[in-house]
């Protein structure tokens, strides 16, 4: 009976995500050159801490995130461009490490879904609204209806 079902998942997932969030970039890791450090921080925000849940390496306190931060700073200090440093990390850890999905192949779907939906929905809505606006003019009554109306209007109460 003592299944470990106790801690609700809602809570658990939240917590697993947050447990390591206490402090991320340590002062000792930071580069002396402020421009280089700023670049490193910017790139870090788009790299996933691979053992965490939906957390970038800049925010994560996990040891792996720390290793990645230091690796990234080493590459940048060695004079690599942002792109070179990132692709080096992607080569080693796979594209899963990128928090922004690449815009190619099947991953294109996430990028195109919104705009396509807007076009499709917008087109449909416009067509409906147009039809609606055209239907605005009331149709003329048929002769039978005219007769019925006249009868109703002239009937004595």
Site residues for another protein, 114-133, by CB under 8 A, read 114, 117-118, 121-122, 125-126, 129-130, 132-133
Residue whose tokens read 């402020």: 34
Q: Nearest approach, Cβ of 156 to another protein (angstroms)? A: 28
148 touches another protein by CB under 8 A: no
Nearest to 76 by CA among 59, 64, 88, 65: 88
Site residues for another protein, 80-109, by CB under 8 A, read 94-102, 105-107, 109
38 touches another protein by CB under 8 A: no
Q: Which of 46, 70, 77, 80 binds another protein (CB under 8 A)?
A: 46
SS3 98: strand
Nearest to 85 by CA among 114, 38, 137, 44: 44
Q: Nearest approach, Cβ of 150 to another protein (angstroms)? A: 25
12 touches another protein by CB under 8 A: yes
Alpha helices for 45-142 (secondary structure H) = 63-77, 82-93, 108-134
Nearest to 45 by CA among 60, 33, 27, 34: 60
Residue whose tokens read 């390591």: 20
63 touches another protein by CB under 8 A: no
Q: CA-to-CA distance for 48 and 89, rounded, in angstroms?
A: 11
Q: Which of 32, 34, 54, 83 binds another protein (CB under 8 A)?
A: 54
Task: Give Rg (Cα) of the chain.
Answer: 31
User: Where does this chain bind another protein (CB under 8 A)?
Assistant: 1-2, 4-19, 21-28, 30, 45-46, 48, 51-54, 56, 59, 94-102, 105-107, 109-111, 113-114, 117-118, 121-122, 125-126, 129-130, 132-133, 135-136
């Amino acid at each position: 009976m003592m299944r470990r079902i106790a801690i609700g998942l809602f809570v658990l997932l939240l917590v697993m995500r947050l447990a390591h969030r206490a402090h991320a970039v340590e002062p000792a890791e930071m580069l002396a050159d402020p421009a280089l450090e700023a670049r490193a921080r910017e790139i870090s925000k788009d790299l996933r801490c691979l053992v965490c849940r939906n957390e970038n390496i800049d925010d994560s306190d996990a040891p792996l995130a720390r290793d990645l931060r230091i690796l990234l700073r080493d590459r940048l200090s060695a004079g690599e461009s942002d792109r070179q440093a990132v692709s080096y990390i992607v080569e080693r850890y796979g594209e899963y490490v990128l928090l922004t999905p690449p815009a190619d192949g099947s991953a294109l779907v996430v990028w195109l879904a919104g705009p396509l939906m807007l076009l499709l929905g917008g087109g449909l809505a416009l067509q409906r609204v147009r039809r609606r606006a055209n239907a605005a003019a009331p149709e003329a009554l048929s002769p039978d209806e005219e007769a019925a109306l006249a009868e109703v209007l002239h009937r004595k109460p």
